[in-house]
Structure formats: structure tokens, C-alpha cells
Structure 1
Amino acid sequence: MIRSILTTTAVLAMLASPAVARSGETLDVAAQFEIQGPEPSTSGYIFTRMGISETLVNAEADGRLIPGLASDWKVAEDGLSWTFTLQDGVRFHDGTAMTADAVVNALEIARGKPGPLANLPITGIAAGDGEIVVTLSEPLAALPAFLAEFRSQILAPASYGPDGAGVAIIGTGPYRITAMEPPLSLDATAYPAYWGPETQIKDVSYSGVSRVETRALMAESGEAEFVFGLDPASVSRLGMLDSVEVLSVAVPRTLLIKVNAGHPFLSQPEARRALSLAIDREGIARAVLRYPQGATQLFPPSVAGWHDDALPPLGHDVEEARALLKGLGWLQGSDGILTRDGERFALTLTTYPDRPELPLVAAVLEQQFRQIGVELTINTTNSSEIPAGHQNGTLELGLVARNFSLIPDPIGTVLSDYVGNGDWGAMNWHNEEFATLVGGIARGEGDDADRAEAAAILQDELPIIPIAWYQQTLAVSDKVEGATIDPFERSFGLQDMRWAE
């Protein structure tokens, strides 16, 4: 559960109090994410975004994989082993050397926790002379991309307890933690022994602020120089200020409805298509999200190889939706809600306020579903309730925002979400043809035609229902220069920023 939700007054008081006062030379970051603790499998994305921890492989803005803590890598001819050569002279923030043994230790611990590495066909990870070797039971062409995901971050052995649980974040990044108070804050300073380029800004801080109104006020008042996760109203207001620059970029993320395909009301594709047809995507995109257009398919154009321009687009047709449900035996009741065998077509849609646009969209969906006779109850709660409901089977519908490139090769997320039925993907849905196609793509045997066919299966059966393609928006103070948005959401780019002249 969220342990506390700060009011505007509380946040400003916290930032002004002597215990956490910032000097004029500290770059303050505010975002909606809580720090659950020093555990890379749960809060690791905060540590990689803040430049505290790093992965073996990095990704450029166009998705091209580039060296990180590994200077290069190669695969054997049979595809069953990969060798990653480690950068020279890298030291953890506790002063110890990043050895091959330390890298193997971090990856083996990551493999033992929930995350993408746990489901890969890895048979072993061995330390060599300045390198590690990963062996597989079957080829996996996207392995380097998996090692760019935040849960594959490399931490010093002292970061873990005897049971492998995270006890400290001792990374290799340009910044090292000087103080951390979960769930709301951390302070970091430039690491003088960093192996890469020197940072221009020495001190940075992070504040987890759940309320979007509070984050926007922090940007407006200058209490934070880098504010992440803004709603459309805040973007409009901040965009009129001379002291703040609003940045926005399309990212490979889709706002979608996660469907429990095992639910008796939702188990047939026709029912899921009816819900999809009830959604006015263009209206939601323009009136609520202020985006140029809604999603015509699951994968946005930025997801190279998976977006198919030839795929018939998702449509909006209330009458067709009603006809599909009538064909499934649903009849309109006296209050306009459909009934079948004495049961009302009533569902609960679970979402979360971490992304401020989600509750707004949920309210619109409630109205649009009612037009076809479906009663929707909105449950706005902590984001952890989505995976929890997936695991215990109680989730009916979940409104989420899913990034298809947290693993820079989308095959990683596709495998996890739609073959492995991962917590943020399909629920109680399986298609053998789809699984075969995706398995071939993962081994490096597939091509764009196979990706297009896989996308068409998702479009036809709708185990998830796309609504809008994402734009990431943030506010940056005019006190700093060099800010950019990473479309893969791997980094805030603090190490590339500098104080304005």
C-alpha cells in the first residue's frame, strides 16, 4: 500500500525543512514513483533512472543497443552461448572492483527473483578473465536487450543480504547515494571514481510525490528542476511560464485495458471486441489526453517491426458492440444494463493514480461502456493491486500504461506479457499459434511478416484492449540545460545536464 500521500503543503514543508534542505546547486527531481526500498527487483528503475546503477548493455533513443558495463559481446555460431567483455577499471561505489564474479553474482540473484531473467532459457552464467559467459538451452537472439532492463542492473556483492534480498544500492553509475528514506526520497552525489564521462551537476535528489498537482506546483515554484509525469491540465499551465520548459515525446508505451479472459463475461473474443468497439479512442485522445490520436492497434509506430500499417484499425461502433453482446445472449434490463441468466454485466476496472491520466480515462470509459449496457465500477488504488489481482485471479479489468521497450527489444515484453501471461500482460489467455510465432522470433528465426502475423492475432482476439499511444511529458527549469526524454524510460539523463550559464 501507499504509506503516505503528501499534500502540496506537506511536500513544500518537507523540502524547506532543515533535515532535507537543498542547496542551490542540487538538481531536484520529482516523479510519481515510490522507493520501496534497496531492492533492484522492485525499485530498480528509480536507481537506473537516477544514474546510480547501470546495466551491461545500454540503448540509444532509436533502440540500437550500445555498450554499458560490457564493452562488447558476441554469440557462438550455435546461438547457445554469449560472451560479454567487461569494461576495464570500473569500481562500485564502495570502492571495490567490478569483477566478473561480482557481475555473475548480481545476475544470478536477479534470475532468482520475479522479472524477465527468471523465464529465460539460461542454463548457466560463468565468470571468465574480464568477461562472463551466458549459456542457453536454446538460442535467444534478444539476450543483450534483456541485460539492458533495470532488473539486470549490476550491484556490488555488499548490496545483498545472505538470502539475496537487497540491503543497499551500491552501483557503478555517475551518482552514488548519500541518503535514502523510502518511500519518498534519496540524495546522491557525483562519484569521483566513475569510469565514464564526468558529470556537470554534482548533487541530485529524488522525491516520490504521488499527487500530480503537487508535482506541477513544485515545477511552477522552482522547488524541483526536473518534474516527471504531468497531466494535460498541468502541461497547459506550465507551458505558459517562461521559467519552465515542457518537453514531450512519443514513447513506445500504450494505454490499454488488461482483460481477465478467464472471466465468464469476457472469455469469448466477441465480448472483448464489443468492449473495444464501445471506446471512442479519438475522443479520449484529444479531449482527455491532449494527444494527436488514439491507438489503432497495440504497438505504436515507435515499436519498430511490430507496428503494422496494413493492420485494419480498431474502430468505434456502439451499434455493432450491442449486436455482438446480443449474439452472446445478453439482453437489456430495465435500467439499461445487460443481463444474462440472471446476472448483470457488471465489472470492476482497477487502475492507479501514479499516472494521472489513468483515472481520467477510467471515468470516460465508465460512461462509454454504459452506452452498450455494461456497468463499470472504478477502483483507483495502488498500482501493485494490478499484479496482485492477476496472481490471485480477482482482477476483472485493469487500466494500465505498458511500455514495450523497458527491454529495448520488444520481444522481451511480448514474451513476458502474451506467452508467459506476465502480471502486466494477458490474463488467462493462450494462443498456440501466437506462442509458436513469438518463440521463433525470440530465437532469431522470425521476420517482420511473423511479427505482423503475431500483431494481427492480438488485434483479433484482444486479450488486452489498446486505447492510446503514449506521449511522455515533463517539465524542466530554465536553470538547467541539456535535458532530454529517454523514449525507453531507462534514464532521466541527469549525467548529461548542466547548470545554465
Structure 2
Amino acid sequence: MFGKAASILSVSVGALVIALGVSGPVRAASGAEVFNVVAPFEVKSMEPSTSGDVFLRTGVAETLVDVDENGKPLPALAERWEVSDDGKVWRFFVLPGVVFHDGSNLTAESITHALNVALARSGGLLAKAPIESIAPEGETVVVTLKQPFAPLLAFLAHNTTQILAPASYAADDTVVKVIGTGPFSLGAFEPPLKFSVERFDGYWGEKPAIAKANYLAAGRGETRALLAESGDADYVLNLDPASRVRLEKGDKVDVLSIAIPRTVLLKVNAGHPALKDVATRQALSAAIDREGIATAILRLPDAGATQLFPPSVGTWHNKSIAPLAYDIDKAKALLAEAGWTPGNDGVLERDGTRFAVTLTTYPDRPELPLIAAALQEQLREVGIAATINSTNSSEIPAKHQDGTLELGLVARNFALVPDPIGTILQDYPPQGGDWGALNWSNAEFNAAIDALSRTADASEGQVLRDKAVSILQAELPVIPVAWYQQTAAVSKKVEGARLDPFERSFGLAKVRKAP
């Protein structure tokens, strides 16, 4: 059995090596070695709203604002900015001397066009900011707001607001080419699995050491680990826990690890007949042995999530609230109070209906199917029958939209927008969000988030954050399971590799291969 599985895996690795175009070290025409990156994320299209993160990570595109490793806004394509006293008018000064990959100049007009396209995207992040207009004025871009909006800079650092050249767009503003300003230009593009980038000699900043990089999407964690171990990949992201431990013990690669503001959580359909009661959701939470999952599956005993936001999120981690805890007796008592009684097969019943739900997850994050299996057993202990559906990650938002999702196990990063309020506005608006609440809304929570988005006062903001987090902890529209650590395997020949806590960059512009 294991021999057959290993043979199949070997074939899949071989196919991916061919896809990468590698067999040992490959060199670009200039003589510089090609850098091979492998990650689980498929590239759906050139459109920033669907695949902008991968073009930002590989250094093809850039944003008006960047952030440091603590989430503090930094100048990028805007060399500086000013804001009016009433907080409604922001003026961004365009960095001079920047050219796009097609040789055209970065101007206030080109930035304005890219941002207005992002603003017009239905359901896009920028559309959630109270923007009245974005217009060029000389060498500045003026963003006028309907009301003060403190996280505007964080929104302008998000990958969906990347600045592309006018030639990137068709007449209807569909993106047909990714022409950015980054240190690398886009080369061969073969969605959904691979593309290449090449060093852009006209880059305005520090020039990269590597001449070319290949990107390959590989969904299986074991396959990615073997590509790292074999030397066919230089930088492999998202190791499954078992592979991480094995690679750490070996001497073929360096394993990098960093705590990031990402949480593994259960997305709950709060409109489902069996899940609509707060007490039932609290019972599900109490049935979860987070420490056991963190220890046995993640191999990180301290990663059990006692609340939604991990300590790495700083001001959003509320130390004053009672932590979520494993208490199987409490779970059973809450379910009994909600009217559930054991059936002949041990599965709970109420009004003739079994407590049976489908738990949807995806293998892009290799630990998720394993956690799903553990949750299935733990829920069974309290009488809940969960059927696992491990499928494409796109099924989570699809099932959210059509209302068929019951439970979804996901890994949500709260710093893709460097200020977590950006993700909160996406995930927990009154109508719900693809990766957050489903059929849940709370007037106090909505008011707190609205007030938080308007205030620049640190102490007032902290009170509002604590209140919002307390409401999420009490009502559990999503149920936290584990906090996350990002991992990567890096070739011993690579120098300067690092992990970005905000997952904005693979760091290609800073790496080099040792002679």
C-alpha cells in the first residue's frame, strides 16, 4: 500500500519538476541561476482582485503604500502623503523617476486609473472604504472621503490596489497584461499552475541579484516537501507539520518559521437550523480539544486558539476575555439544554432531525484536512455527525454565496490588509463575508467597527476593538481552533531568505544563491 502511494507521489513530483523546467540547477541566459518557488496557491487569472497577492509576492506589482514588519505604513509608489485636518482629504505625492515594465512613466493619472478600477470592482476591498473620489492633481493623487477613515493607508497597501500601467487594461478595464513597477516583470504565464518572472533592469529601487524566478503551484504538502528535499525547488512555502519536522531533522534545507496573524477557524452558518442558537455554537466550541490538535497535528503545543486573534495581532488580542476552553461536559449540557437528545446510534436528535452537518475544507493548507478529521471525531464525542468534504478552497466562498455552507474549516489571515480592521470589514459586515460570518449580524458589533474606522484616537480605538472582540467571543459566528505559523523550506545554497509576517512578499528581490 505504502509502496504504491510512494510511487504515485514520485510520479507527481516528477511531473512538477518537468513543469518547473528544472533538473538540477538551471541558469538564465546571463549565467545567473534561476530561482524556483513552490507554493500551494493557484493563479486564477491576471486580475488583481483574484490573483493580486501572487503578483505582489513575486515583486511584479507594487502598491502606493507599503508596510514594515510591524504593519506600520511606509512610502512606496507614494513617496509621502498629507491628510487634511478633518481627515477627509488625503494627498499622495507620486515617487518620481518610476517607470512601468513597458517603459511608460508612473504618473498621477496612471495611479488614479488603477485605483479607480480597483474601487469599481464589485465586492472589492477598496469599495468598502468611504471614498468619494480619486483624482490626479499635478504630481499628486487626491483621495477624498465621505467621512474620516483611519485605515485608508492599510487599504492602499492591499494587493488588490496594486498599480498597473494603462496598457494592462482592455477598453472595459479588464486586466489583460500585468505590467507593474516592481523589481521583476512577468514572463511566461501559464495559469493556473505556473508563471515566470524576470529581473527588470529599469527598476527604481535596489536591483535583485537573481535574474529569473519560476513559480509553481503544488497543492499537495508532501509533494512540496519532496521538491525542497530533492533540491528541485529553492523556496517552498507552507510545509505540512510532519514534513516540517522531518526537514528540520535533516541537513538538506533550512526550515524557516514565523508566527503570523492567521487563525484556523470554523466558519459557521448561523442561519442553519442546528447552528443558529448561540448556545449550540458555544457547545461546538467547548467540544474542541484545541491543545490536543495543536500538539498532535500542528506539533506546536501553544498554538491552540483561545480567541480569534493571536497575540501576534497586538491590539486585537484581548487579554481580558475568558479564553475558549475544552470542556466536553459543558458541551453536552449546552446541547441538552438546547433540546438535543441522543438517538439510537448516539447522534443527537431534535424534533425528528439528526444533528448531522457537512464540514467543508481544502488541502491548500495541508494541516486543514487533518484538523477536520480530528474535529469530526471530537464532535462525534458529543453526538454531532460531521461529514468531511475536502475540496477546492473556492468552494468556501461559493457555498457562502449560495447559502449551502454548514461548517467550513479555513485558515484566515487577519493582516492581508495590514490593519486587521480591513479584514474585519470584509468578513463581518451586516450581510456577512465569504471567509467570515454567514447569516450572523450584531448591531453593537457593527456600531463598534464603524466607530473604530472613524477614530484616530488610540485609547478610544482600543476600547472599541476590545468590545468587538468580546462580542465575537461570546456569539461565535466563527469558532477559533488554532493559531498559525508560516513555514518554508529554503535551499542551503540560498542567502537572504526570510518570511514576511504579512505575507506580502516572497523576498525574491533580497535573495541570492551562494557561489
What TM-score do you get using the length of structure 2 for normalisation? 0.94
Q: Which runs of 5+ in 2 are unaligned?
A: 1-8
Equivalences for 1:73-152 in 2 at 5 Å?
Answer: 73-113=81-121, 114-152=123-161
Give the partner amino acid of 1:222.
G
**Residue 69 of structure 2 corresponds to residue 61 of structure 1:** yes
Q: What is the aligned partner in structure 1 of residue 288 from structure 2?
A: 279
Give the counterpart of 1:429 among 432, 436, 440.
440
Q: What is the aligned partner in structure 1 of residue 409 from structure 2?
A: 399
The 2-side partners of 1:33 and 1:125 are apart by 32
- % same residue: 54
- Structure 1 window deviating more from structure 2 (161-170 vs 264-273): it is 161-170
8 A contact 1:57–1:69 mirrored in 2: yes
Deviation at 1:21, TM superposition (A): 6.6
**Residue 180 of structure 2 corresponds to residue 171 of structure 1:** yes
Give the partner amino acid of 1:485.
L
**Residue 12 of structure 2 corresponds to residue 7 of structure 1:** yes
Deviation at 1:128, TM superposition (A): 1.2
The 2-side partners of 1:187 and 1:284 are apart by 37
The 1-side partners of 2:35 and 2:88 are apart by 45
**Residue 480 of structure 2 corresponds to residue 466 of structure 1:** yes
8 A contact 1:15–1:21 mirrored in 2: no
8 A contact 2:287–2:331 mirrored in 1: yes
- Structure 1 window deviating more from structure 2 (417-426 vs 286-295): it is 417-426
**Residue 490 of structure 2 corresponds to residue 476 of structure 1:** yes
Relative distance call for 1:57 and 1:17 in structure 2 (3 A) is closer
- Structure 1 window deviating more from structure 2 (267-276 vs 158-167): it is 158-167
The 2-side partners of 1:17 and 1:216 are apart by 16
Task: Report how many residues are paired.
Answer: 496
Q: What is the aligned partner in structure 2 of residue 451 from structure 1?
A: 465
Deviation at 1:412, TM superposition (A): 0.8
**Residue 360 of structure 2 corresponds to residue 350 of structure 1:** yes
Deviation at 1:368, TM superposition (A): 0.2
Deviation at 1:474, TM superposition (A): 0.4
Give the partner amino acid of 2:454.
R
**Residue 499 of structure 2 corresponds to residue 499 of structure 1:** no
Deviation at 1:419, TM superposition (A): 2.2
8 A contact 1:7–1:211 mirrored in 2: no
The ranges of structure 1 where at least 4 consecutive aligned residues each deviate by more than 6 angstroms after the TM superposition are: none
Give the counterpart of 1:386 among 396, 399, 409.
396
Give the counterpart of 1:373 among 361, 383, 388.
383
8 A contact 1:15–1:22 mirrored in 2: no
Deviation at 1:22, TM superposition (A): 5.7
SS in 2 for 1:362: helix
Q: Which runs of 5+ in 1 are unaligned?
A: none
The 2-side partners of 1:14 and 1:21 are apart by 13
SS in 2 for 1:305: helix
Deviation at 1:16, TM superposition (A): 4.5
The 2-side partners of 1:77 and 1:201 are apart by 45
Deviations 1:56-102 (Å, cap 9, x if unpaired)?
11111111111111111121111111111111111110110111111
8 A contact 2:20–2:214 mirrored in 1: no
Deviation at 1:17, TM superposition (A): 7.1
- Structure 1 window deviating more from structure 2 (183-192 vs 456-465): it is 183-192
Equivalences for 1:245-264 in 2 at 5 Å?
Answer: 245-264=254-273
Deviation at 1:475, TM superposition (A): 0.5
Deviations 1:92-118 (Å, cap 9, x if unpaired)?
101101111111111111112232112
Give the partner amino acid of 1:137.
K
The 1-side partners of 2:376 and 2:301 are apart by 22
Q: What is the aligned partner in structure 2 of residue 338 from structure 1?
A: 348
The 1-side partners of 2:116 and 2:465 are apart by 31
Q: Root-mean-square deviation (CA), in Å?
A: 1.5
- Structure 1 window deviating more from structure 2 (95-104 vs 237-246): it is 237-246
The 2-side partners of 1:384 and 1:318 are apart by 33
